[in-house]
Structure 1
Amino acid sequence: MHKVIDLFAGAGGLSLGFKQTGKYEIAAAFEINQNAQETYKKNHSGTKVFSDVCSADFVKLGEKLGNIDVVIGGPPCQGFSMANRQKNRIISQNNMLVKQYVRAVKELKPKAFVMENVEMLKSDVHRFYLRTGETEIIDEYNIETTPSEILLLEGKYFSKEIFEDIRSLHEVEARLWPEEDYKLLNIAYRQRKNLKKCREALYRYQKKYLKLAEKIKQADNNGVYECFDAAADAIFDFFDKIIDADQVVKRIEKTIMIQRCLSRIKEIYDNELQIDEIICQNGIVAVIQSYSVLEYITKMLGNYTFNMGVLNALEFGAPQRRNRFVFIGVKNEIAQNIEMPTGTFTKDNYNTVKDAIKDIENVRTVFETSEDSGAELTDDFEPTSLTPLLRDSKKLYNHIITKTRAVAKARFEALGQGENFHFLDVTLKENTYTDVSRTQNTIYQRLNYEKPSGTVVNVRKSMWIHPTINRAVSIREAARLQTFPDSFVFCGTKDSQYQQVGNAVPPILAKAIAEHLASYLDQKKNG
């Protein structure tokens, strides 16, 4: 048995797949989310479960548990994309978790590791920003850095005052509003393309807006930021019925953008990013060195033979299309060349939604976790190709759904199998998303029994619909699409259970990866 540690384990889909091979022992797992941790503990009783990867001493843990053969896990990693540099957040705090994964591998020195993440990780545009104090390690491992520009403020909002202020953290903090004040103003600005909703938001929070306007007027800005006063005046004028919502939006826009700029530069200071320069060039731009996430991993773990690629769970038997980027490393002395696993399923024999959930179509659902005592399953069903894998319990838990309001119910009733929000009549699209045309195709998706599903995410938020019944897809149905067997029970709140399922690695894909990896580890062992 190969001893495994699972990092960022979530509910435990990756662990389950490895365990199902019968070739691995999951010695320990790390998961910080309490609901997911509860689920993991319930379904992996023999595994020691820890919380925070960042505070772990992997050297001591390895000494306590014995030699660790394999490290697995899916560290969250947004990095940053040059295409998305105008978003409000510059970096994700999750970025450091990839570095924690690398630290775990370096300290535990396993024979192999498997890192699973989103497909985008393979792209060079996903990078880390250079932090103060990192130069030495970047130089030691010969990791290439390139200057990257972070747009802090567009040219049309530029002012000399803010260009001077952002060079000082003290001045930034003096001008930066409390988060709740910014969010309040942004509620109205966010609805700028739907003035009806903008008006409704302003009136809904009228007392708070007026209080904010008074607060702005009383603040000592020394006349530096006239746009702040302009925002306050716009609020007063709106409630005095002098202007309408469209003018409010125009007059608060610069304040919103200035606050975003201040927030971005503070984020840079707080994360100790190494600023090369701040320049005024069609706005305000911070220049910071960056380096590829992928190069960081490969250079830091140079004593491993690597392969990587995008695996589609559909080709490994899952009844859904789900692409995941999988990075496999095996110690050089074990293998000098490794191949990626290949699926055996094609369009001629893909598993479908019907294969996964048809047999529980008439099993009663509940609305709340407190009502989930388990539904009794009968033998009155037609087996499918997935039945032996999924139907391994006499009771069905997590068959929980959301209550459907009248508008959503009307939409459910109007959609046929395979259709989504864009198929609705215009009358059923009103009073919904700000920009209807940009609504994703996965929203209000009615599943088609005869085809695989799309990628299972949080199907509650996406409002996925059962193929033949006018109700939401249950947590258990989503779990089956992910190939979790019925004996695997999810814990926590309803929202959390839906999210845990959506975040998980399909166990059927994890098992295929584990079997493939074992072929290298066992070859060395038997040799």
Structure 2
Amino acid sequence: MENKKLLAVDLFSGAGGLSLGFLQTGQVKIVAAVENNESAQKTYKRNHCRFVHTYDDGKAIKYFKDIKKVNFQQLKDENEKIDLVFGGPPCQGFSNANRQKSELISTNNQLVKEYVRAIEELNPDAFVMENVKAMRSEKHKFLYSLKDRQEIVEDLGIELIPNKVILGKHNSLTSQLVSFLKNSIQRELDLSQFIINDKYLYSKISHINRKEKEARIYIAKAKKDLQKALSNWNEQHNSYWSTAYEEKWMKLRDLLLSEEYSDSSSNDLFLILNEIIEIQKILMKMNEIQANSIVIVDILSDHKNVCVKVQTYGVMSYLISKFKSLDYVINEDRIINAAHFGAPQLRERLILIGVKKSFVGEGSVVLPESIIKEPSLYYNVEEAIADLEDLDPFTIMEEDKPIDKPLLSVCNPLLQYLRGATYKLRNHVMTETTNTALERFKVLEQGQNFHDLDEAYKQTYSNPGRTQNTVYLRLNYKTPSGTVLNARKSMWIHPRKNRAISIREAARLQTFPDDFVFEGAKDSQYQQIGNAVPPLLGRAVAEQVLKYLGIEEGYEKLRSFIMR
């Protein structure tokens, strides 16, 4: 490569954790980055623009928001060649676990295929795709549609797996509804005409349905909001799929207008309301299935639910088959732990590395070898943030200003990296603590969480048993943290202080150095950090990719400055 930097495109770049790892090698130049979150893109621009000055041509990075609108072929032509692509597309896949939601197919699913489109059109020498561990599971799947036939069945030969999708629960009109839906498929009916027009109205009555215990109070409040809808109730549907359903809809109006509520009328209201909402869920999901051209095998009802039989294919099966068809060699072992590469955090992620066969021949592609293998040698929370313990964080974003860091005579290798060359600290801002939260903070020891609280401290939660173990977690100085998500939403507590951890402390756990400054609102900054790939993990992956592309000299290796 003769010291010429590799040209890279960063997809779903977020704040820039993965790309920072690549840039730290000094061997990579980013020519374009795609990110639809405005605050994350501001963070990316602020921190990555400084690397532009190290480029021979000094050209600025091109930024895009909507990946679906990016002309990758033009991007490739402008740069003659793109060597690397990296990024982590969001992907929920399909799961019956999400059947309570009105939407069945996440719009994020298509973003995985947009990532694939980028690889296909840019044809880089190597790529890195980062994602959640769950993506490797066959439960993480796509619904098979008519437009998939050429690529999935004929070109890639992927096996289709029968699956049953739950649309909604049984109700008194189930047999009629199933017959209607089967007939609608044959007649190619547009189901949207049978769905409630006013989304606000649907949201309101759904909320009422969840408030049965406080029915009288809540309906009285809701009536003011529903006045307009109640006055033109019959026009809330363009069409009724059955006379029986129409009668229930009109009966619901009468019950909502009623001035007096007896136990029997209240029971009638919630019985009818529940049925209408379940029917609407079923119609909305079937409409979504038809709109996405999902192949329907059958519609049926079991002892509890109305279901549709479809065919599916695994997200990972698709990705591996597709990338191999594009002449990439892919790593077999795909789970990596950030703690093995210097992060004070036990964070497992899925990493796909693809390298063109022309570079590796009959050889294999593997993940980078762990630098720190023994759990007893993992960096811990204390080693990453203890020097900030006596610096009181700001609580108001407007007050955030550079503050002097305490001088240290000795630093462990991780802390030396985190502190960098700057003597000032930014983003040392935390969420404000309510009195209720503060009382919980005071009784929790290091390593304890919400479930260790006495029952008296849990009364503000409607269902305390369902609270995750990461909520109200007081970090333990002597161990790595768990996976950093949004530390504000999780209410993570400082190991020794009765306060939330700050944005900067969360950033350090993710191995962002202090000179990396986050932009946006407080919650956005916490979220950007939680969404990011730890830069040290990104750097380890970058070094592995560079090795496959024939670049092993000319830069300091991660191992040399992170080993104790």
Normalising by the residue count of structure 1, what TM-score does the alignment of the two structures yield? 0.91
Q: Take 1:385 and 1:524, find their aligned partners in 2: how far apart are those partners?
A: 23
CA-CA distance at 1:200 after TM superposition: 6.4
Q: Take 1:227 and 1:289, find their aligned partners in 2: how far apart are those partners?
A: 34
Change (3 A) 1:457 1:226: farther
**Contact 1:173/1:266 (<8 A) preserved:** no
How do 1:323-338 residues align onto structure 2 when only pairs under 5 Å count? 323-335=348-360, 336-338=363-365
Change (3 A) 1:281 1:361: same
Pairing partner for 2:485 from 446, 457, 470: 457
- 1:240 equivalent to 2:265? Answer no
Pairing partner for 1:319 from 333, 344, 361: 344
How do 1:273-422 residues align onto structure 2 when only pairs under 5 Å count? 273-282=294-303, 283-302=305-324, 303-307=327-331, 308-335=333-360, 336-345=363-372, 346-380=374-408, 383-392=411-420, 393-422=422-451
What is the SS of the residue equivalent to 1:224?
Answer: helix
Amino acid at match of 1:179: K
**Contact 2:330/2:355 (<8 A) preserved:** yes
Which residue in the other structure is 1:115 paired with?
Answer: 129
**Contact 2:329/2:364 (<8 A) preserved:** yes
Which residue in the other structure is 1:142 paired with?
Answer: 157
- 1:105 equivalent to 2:125? Answer no
Change (3 A) 1:171 1:142: closer
**Contact 1:176/1:262 (<8 A) preserved:** no
Which residue in the other structure is 1:446 paired with?
Answer: 474
Amino acid at match of 1:413: K
Q: Take 1:58 and 1:38, find their aligned partners in 2: how far apart are those partners?
A: 22
Pairing partner for 1:43 from 47, 52, 55: 47
**Contact 2:164/2:308 (<8 A) preserved:** yes
- 1:510 equivalent to 2:532? Answer no
What is the SS of the residue equivalent to 1:15?
Answer: helix
CA-CA distance at 1:388 after TM superposition: 1.4
Amino acid at match of 1:311: I
Change (3 A) 1:82 1:206: closer
Q: Take 2:469 and 2:264, find their aligned partners in 1: how far apart are those partners?
A: 34
Bigger Cα displacement from structure 2, 93-102 vs 151-160:
151-160
Any idea what the Cα deviations from partners look like across 1:331-373, whole Å, max 9, x if unmatched? Answer: 1121131122232222111111111111111223222322212
What is the SS of the residue equivalent to 1:333?
Answer: helix
Change (3 A) 1:143 1:218: closer
CA-CA distance at 1:52 after TM superposition: 1.5
Pairing partner for 1:498 from 508, 511, 526: 526
How do 1:144-293 residues align onto structure 2 when only pairs under 5 Å count? 144-156=159-171, 158-166=173-181, 167=184, 169-190=189-210, 195=213, 202=219, 205-208=222-225, 216=233, 221=240, 222-236=243-257, 240-243=260-263, 247=267, 249-282=270-303, 283-293=305-315
CA-CA distance at 1:175 after TM superposition: 3.1
Any idea what the Cα deviations from partners look like across 1:197-255, whole Å, max 9, x if unmatched? Answer: x7765565452256655554675755424443454455455x63424998465552222
**Contact 1:177/1:259 (<8 A) preserved:** no
Unaligned runs of 5+ in 2: 53-60, 555-564
Amino acid at match of 1:133: K
- 1:64 equivalent to 2:93? Answer no
**Contact 1:78/1:92 (<8 A) preserved:** yes
CA-CA distance at 1:153 after TM superposition: 2.7
**Contact 1:210/1:236 (<8 A) preserved:** no
Q: Take 1:258 and 1:500, find their aligned partners in 2: how far apart are those partners?
A: 38
**Contact 1:377/1:394 (<8 A) preserved:** yes
Percent identical across equivalent pairs?
A: 40
CA-CA distance at 1:87 after TM superposition: 4.4
Pairing partner for 1:27 from 20, 25, 31: 31
Q: Take 1:212 and 1:244, find their aligned partners in 2: how far apart are those partners?
A: 25
Quote the RMSD (CA, aligned, Å). Answer: 2.6
How do 1:416-435 residues align onto structure 2 when only pairs under 5 Å count? 416-432=445-461, 434-435=462-463
Q: Take 1:524 and 1:351, find their aligned partners in 2: how far apart are those partners?
A: 26
- 1:12 equivalent to 2:49? Answer no
Normalising by the residue count of structure 2, what TM-score does the alignment of the two structures yield? 0.86
Change (3 A) 1:523 1:485: closer
Change (3 A) 1:403 1:74: same
CA-CA distance at 1:170 after TM superposition: 3.2
Q: Take 1:206 and 1:422, find their aligned partners in 2: how far apart are those partners?
A: 39
CA-CA distance at 1:171 after TM superposition: 4.2
- 1:480 equivalent to 2:508? Answer yes
Amino acid at match of 1:188: I
Q: Take 2:507 and 2:220, find their aligned partners in 1: how far apart are those partners?
A: 42
Q: Take 2:227 and 2:454, find their aligned partners in 1: how far apart are those partners?
A: 39
Bigger Cα displacement from structure 2, 492-501 vs 371-380:
371-380
What is the SS of the residue equivalent to 1:72?
Answer: strand
Amino acid at match of 2:295: Q
Change (3 A) 1:456 1:199: farther
Change (3 A) 1:157 1:140: farther
Change (3 A) 1:244 1:5: farther
CA-CA distance at 1:3 after TM superposition: 1.7
**Contact 1:398/1:489 (<8 A) preserved:** yes
Q: Take 1:445 and 1:407, find their aligned partners in 2: how far apart are those partners?
A: 15
Count of aligned residue pairs for this structure pair: 521
Q: Take 1:297 and 1:245, find their aligned partners in 2: how far apart are those partners?
A: 54
CA-CA distance at 1:306 after TM superposition: 0.7
Change (3 A) 1:225 1:375: farther
Amino acid at match of 2:282: C
Q: Take 2:356 and 2:180, find their aligned partners in 1: how far apart are those partners?
A: 51
Any idea what the Cα deviations from partners look like across 1:70-99, whole Å, max 9, x if unmatched? Answer: 111101111113554554331110111111
Bigger Cα displacement from structure 2, 292-301 vs 379-388:
379-388
Q: Take 1:48 and 1:4, find their aligned partners in 2: how far apart are those partners?
A: 11
How do 1:122-141 residues align onto structure 2 when only pairs under 5 Å count? 122-138=136-152, 139-141=154-156
Change (3 A) 1:268 1:381: farther
Q: Take 1:110 and 1:516, find their aligned partners in 2: how far apart are those partners?
A: 16
What is the SS of the residue equivalent to 1:410?
Answer: helix
Q: Take 1:339 and 1:324, find their aligned partners in 2: how far apart are those partners?
A: 15
Unaligned runs of 5+ in 1: none
Q: Take 2:347 and 2:383, find their aligned partners in 1: how far apart are those partners?
A: 17
What is the SS of the residue equivalent to 1:334?
Answer: helix
Which residue in the other structure is 1:521 paired with?
Answer: 549
Change (3 A) 1:219 1:377: closer
